Amino acid sequence: MKIRKAIEADIPQLLPLMHELAEFEKYADAFAIPQDILREQGFRRSPPDFYCLVAEESGRLTGLLVYYFVALTYRAKLNLVVKELYVAAGHRSKGAGKLLMKAVAQEAERAGCGMIKWWVAKWNTRGVAFYQRLGAKIDPNWHEFQMSEEAFRKLAES
């Protein structure tokens, strides 16, 4: 198994993995990422809107980790935010997730980050246990808030 940065030529294999993740997390009906957006935002902008690491076995992508950086944190250091971590069914429990997390930790170290952050669905008990085994802790002090497009448009117009 090889962990590497995704390249533009990976898009035909990345999109099905992203769609599988959407199915796993129960938002497949809202999944709306076309190839051209993925290509532009991840591989043609400088800097890109997101970065992506992939797990590859025998030329086939079996996992992905999408991340981005947030500046101006209270530590005066970047935070690295993991947006998506997904390993395809049939390839789980073989170390790909841990290797992807190790690779993103190395990216955070190179960038001089102060923290890595991410969110996990409360129902994803296997995911929570996996992250805890890596040494991550659930932050009990913060609630995640979300504002839908409809809600922020209403606010903007008010």
Tokens representing 141 are: 């002090």
What is the rounded CA–CA span in Å between residue 104 and residue 106? 5
The active-site residue out of 51, 67, 86, 131 is: 131
Quick one: which of 25, 42, 17 has its CA closest to 96?
A: 17
Q: Cβ contacts of residue 97 below 8 Å, gap of 6+?
A: 63, 85, 87, 130
Catalytic, 131? Answer: yes
Catalytic residues, by residue number, are 131
